[in-house]
Structure 1
């Protein structure tokens, strides 16, 4: 990350994402049957369901019956990206999508292979697998270059295990999150200059940021011209999580946030802050 200016350690990674939904049943069925997550907990009192892999929570679904669809002006989620541990697992995921859902698109990014789809409440989803780091395309200065070309779906399907895998395998994580923001400059000031993520790559009206020399943990774009914060009560991204090591710990991070003029609040076992568009970010330490 950005050396002396970095607030977060290089081993920082994405943890869980949380969605506010109005049709919990349809959303849970999608993430269970198509993405391949397992239901881990249900809390009827709060309308909250957690899903994940191998007892590790990756997604929190919060049911709010009167939640309204996100308007075309509101910022928020572009997609949550679930990283699968192998090409075989991504091939299995493609077969699940073909059986249960509809594919929106697919791309070979050089660093990864990715499938794109949309959940029942219009939240974008990416399913992807990374290529080995030794194969990642680099520019002449050694920087990571994220490309975009067509993906051979039949070749990917042929890599599947041969048995219909109904669940995502152990090792599946939320690899990155991609946000729709109102200003790339404001996003750079917050995520790079304040939090200290490295700007890995840029594209027209987009920016990709990472910790620890990954290709990206956070993507941002202004492609759809969104200009207003997500309103309370709207469907979509409730928050996403950054997981940091136990050292320096949350108290040191909280103090550093205050030094940089960022207000944090205590939530569950961590802290919550907001970016310039009001997108909520939770920080917790590794368990």
Structure 2
């Protein structure tokens, strides 16, 4: 980012859209496994969110879409942020009982559990630690991947906890993690063009955010270095919506243009394809 380009002061991820091979199967999975609830649906689309909340996930059907090649650029995982540790404990117990967990980690700033959806798309479910507890080293946020405290997490469950309880209304898309072909390209898009700040690095990965969050976006080359985005006949993250602060749409467009990023402006919305192939739909808050 040029020295005269101020970073975005805030950002929120609103709605992730996944193209899936079987709409009914995937909608049922996100209800049963993740705890989301159907909030709106048509013949070819289902939107889900926490019970009583707003839509955070849109599923559209790309009939018979094939799985994304493991080494292709694309979605690594979509991460659903829960409001507290008790909700994470419920999700952990539900997924462990169903044999769906693929991992569980303590990242110092958060606790997270992992699984894959029926098309092999990665999912993270997590809760943040209070920001006052986030560790820093040499002025930079410190993150790691350590074993989660399973005993302490399960202790959060009430004796009569219902493991099929819905995700809370306050559940959001906390961050998106991409597989990319080149970290410099990812940094050029997200930092130089969009205006995020680099919060920390990990071998082969970048973590970027606005407003001091640990990360709204991550990018890695662990399996995808030098690879191009997966073909569009694969199950994939098709698009995602980003709310940027009021009054920043014009400066974001200027920054994108200066960085040489192709984008389309539709009324009060900017659309740009990020390096792993999904469309970022950026807009200011509704008035």
Check conservation: 2:195, 2:252, Cα contact below 8 A: no
Q: Secondary structure at the match of 2:275?
A: coil
Q: Which residue of 2 aligns with 1:144?
A: 141
Residue 155 of structure 1 pairs with residue 161 of structure 2:
no
Q: Secondary structure at the match of 1:230?
A: coil
* Aligned position for 2:92: 94
The within-5 A match list for 1:68-83 is: 68-83=66-81
**Corresponding residue for residue 189 of structure 1:** 188
Moved over 6 A (4+): none
| Higher alpha-carbon deviation: 262-271 or 69-78 | 262-271
Unmatched 5+ residue regions in structure 1? Answer: none
Residues 119-130 of structure 1: matches in 2 within 5 Å?
A: 119-130=117-128
Deviations 1:84-103 (A, max 9, x none): 11011101111221344511
Say whether the 8 Å CA contact 2:71–2:224 is kept in structure 1: yes
Q: 8 Å contact 1:11–1:244 — kept in the other structure?
A: yes
How far 1:144 sits from its partner (Å)? 1.1
- Residues 63 and 242 of structure 1, relative CA distance in 2, 3 Å threshold: same
How many residue pairs were aligned? 282
List alignment gaps of at least 5 residues for structure 2. none
1:48 maps to which of 38, 45, 50: 45
**How many angstroms does 1:252 deviate by?**
4.9
Deviations 1:208-245 (A, max 9, x none): 11110111110100001350122222211111221112
Asked if the contact 1:77/1:124 (under 8 Å) is kept, the reply is yes
Quote how far apart the aligned CAs of 1:73 are. 4.2
Question: Which secondary structure state, in structure 1, belongs to the residue aligned with residue 153 of structure 2?
Answer: helix
Match of 2:262 in 1: 263
Structure 1 residue matching 2:142: 3-state secondary structure: coil
Q: Corresponding residue for 2:245?
A: 245
Q: 1:65 and 1:266 mapped to 2: Cα distance?
A: 30
* Aligned positions of 1:30-69 closer than 5 A: 30-44=29-43, 47-53=44-50, 54-69=52-67
**Could you say what secondary structure the match of 2:257 adopts?**
helix
Aligned-residue CA RMSD in angstroms? 2.1
TM-score normalised to structure 1 length: 0.91
Q: Contact 1:107 / 1:115 at 8 angstroms: preserved in 2?
A: yes
Deviates more, 1:228-237 or 1:129-138: 228-237
The aligned counterpart of 1:228 is: 228
Return the alpha-carbon distance in structure 2 between the equivalents of residues 173 and 57 of structure 1: 9
CA contact (8 A) 1:2 1:196 kept: no
TM-score (norm 2): 0.91
Instruction: Give yes or no for contact 1:87–1:160 (8 Å, CA) kept in 2.
Output: no
8 Å contact from structure 2 (residues 192, 259) kept in 1:
no
Conserved? CA contact 2:193–2:258, under 8 Å: no
1:30, distance to aligned residue in structure 2 (A): 1.6
Cα gap change, 1:259 to 1:202, in 2 (>3 Å): closer
